[in-house]
Amino acid sequence: MFVDPKDLLLSSYEYELDDRLIAQEPIEPRHDARMMLLSKRSIGGQIYASNLRIWDLLRELRAGDLLVMNNTRVLKARLKVRLRSGSLAELFLLEPLGGGNWLCLGKPAKRMHPGDLLSVESSKKEHISLQIVDRDVRTGGRIIQFPPFLSDREKIESFLYEYGEMPLPPYIHSHGLKDDDRYQTRFAKCPGAVAAPTAGLHLSDELLNELSLHGIHQACVTLHVGLGTFRPLEQESLEDLCLHSEWVEVKQEVVSEIGACRARGGRVIAVGTTTVRSLEASFIAGNGCLKAFKGEVDLVIKPGFKFGVTDGLLTNFHLPKSSLLLLVSALIGRDKLLHFYKEALKDKYRFFSYGDAMFISPEAVLPACRI
């Protein structure tokens, strides 16, 4: 498959965004957010955009299709802590390292030294003492010793529920109690993410029920979204791009659902880039055959990638120069994607986590990007 050399330059994924189009609050109800549909005209075969609502997935999906979602649940991973000096600081939990050690980002990190004690305080609960074990060179973060019983994502969830705050992205300027519910998908089940799989935020209970009644099947994978997913990239050459790893689980029942979907002539529609990454990483791990998978994934999807599972994608509008733009470009082409982003800007679509969505129908996907 030919890859335009410009596709492998980070500067090719830049676009200008009016800050007023960065969504600060979610649309209610969830399924009333706008959706740009990319499809193909019957005459000429050109890709075109239609302005719809998320609810219109009911008419765009077909009976027999399979909608695959990411059921990770966002942890309240932002912790206020008191330093030895008495001043307040912040920890942002990223991932467990075993034995109660957690990799965290610190703010201000320069005032957090190995050996220091930190205090997590609450007016209703007892104070908890934490210790800084070491610096982490790779991330610039800190390795923090929590009580040993808080050793994994499930065990620490109740602690963070009492002491932590929902980790909204920095471009969302106001936080409220509504975010505790609204920054979770309705199918969030497995605790562990530090950022929401944002395309899934659009799917309401009502819409999911109607889709089921219309014969559209549903399945869930798990990918615990890390902070690096949404970070802009830095190196200009994308030839040897490496990404953060994230924990993924694709169960055998999902593999069976996808096999049944293929057998009945249905299409596999991924909800969000994290779902695409989960499915395609499992396909690669199975040597070109989708198999159950559990473990860390650092898959890079960029133009030239061959998709083995994904037929269509529901996704949000993403940050410039992000790995998510590379992934979507691999499906439909960078030039086409940036063209439709310009249309979205002109039509005042709302961008990023609480923003609107784009549905890339299977007809709009590049034929050359499929295995």
- DSSP character string of 95-120: EEEETTEEEEEEETGGG--TT-EEEE
Q: Cβ atoms within 10 A of the Cβ of 6, count?
A: 12
Please check whether residues 34 and 97 belong to one and the same domain: no
Is there a domain that residue 170 lies in?
no
CATH number of the domain to which 269 belongs = 3.40.1780.10
Please check whether residues 211 and 84 belong to one and the same domain: no
Is there a domain that residue 10 lies in?
yes
| pLDDT, mean of residues 51-67 | 98
Query: pLDDT of 167-212, one tens digit each?
Result: 999 999 998 889 999 999 999 999 999 999 999 999 999 999 999 9
Q: Please give the share of the chain, as a percent, with pLDDT higher than 90.
A: 91
Is there a domain that residue 37 lies in?
yes
CA 322/CA 338 separation, integer angstroms? 13
Phi, psi of 120 (to 5 degrees): -100, 120
Residues 55-91 as b/e (b if ≥16 CB within 10 A, e otherwise) read: bbbeebbeeebbbbbbbbbbbbbbbebebeeeeebeb
Is there a domain that residue 173 lies in?
no
Query: pLDDT of 86-140, one tens digit each?
Result: 999 999 999 999 999 999 999 999 999 999 999 998 777 788 999 999 999 988 9
pLDDT at residue 231 greater than cutoff 90: no
Is there a domain that residue 168 lies in?
no
Q: Please give the share of the chain, as a percent, with pLDDT higher than 70.
A: 99
CA 301/CA 157 separation, integer angstroms? 31
Please check whether residues 87 and 69 belong to one and the same domain: no
Please check whether residues 201 and 274 belong to one and the same domain: yes
Please check whether residues 84 and 231 belong to one and the same domain: no
Please check whether residues 132 and 259 belong to one and the same domain: no
352 band by pLDDT with thresholds 50, 70 and 90? very high
Please check whether residues 50 and 102 belong to one and the same domain: no
The mean pLDDT value of the chain amounts to 95
CATH number of the domain to which 140 belongs = 2.40.10.240
43 band by pLDDT with thresholds 50, 70 and 90? low
Please check whether residues 339 and 205 belong to one and the same domain: yes
Domain that holds residue 90: 78-163
Helices (H), 221-352: 252-263, 273-285, 323-332, 334-346
Please check whether residues 252 and 158 belong to one and the same domain: no
Is there a domain that residue 169 lies in?
no
Please check whether residues 215 and 115 belong to one and the same domain: no
Which long-range contacts link 87-90 to residues 24+ away (Cβ below 8 Å)? 87/111, 89/118
| pLDDT, mean of residues 262-272 | 98
Query: pLDDT of 299-309, one tens digit each?
Result: 999 999 999 99
Please check whether residues 32 and 111 belong to one and the same domain: no
Is there a domain that residue 225 lies in?
yes
Per-residue confidence (pLDDT) for residue 200, from 0 to 100: 98
Q: Which of 133, 163, 193 is the last residue of a domain?
A: 163
Please check whether residues 133 and 256 belong to one and the same domain: no
**Judging by DSSP bridges, how do beta strands 357-360 and 34-40 pair with one another?**
parallel
Pick the more confident residue, 100 or 232. Answer: 100
Is there a domain that residue 143 lies in?
yes
**How many domains does one find in the chain?**
2
Per-residue confidence (pLDDT) for residue 230, from 0 to 100: 64
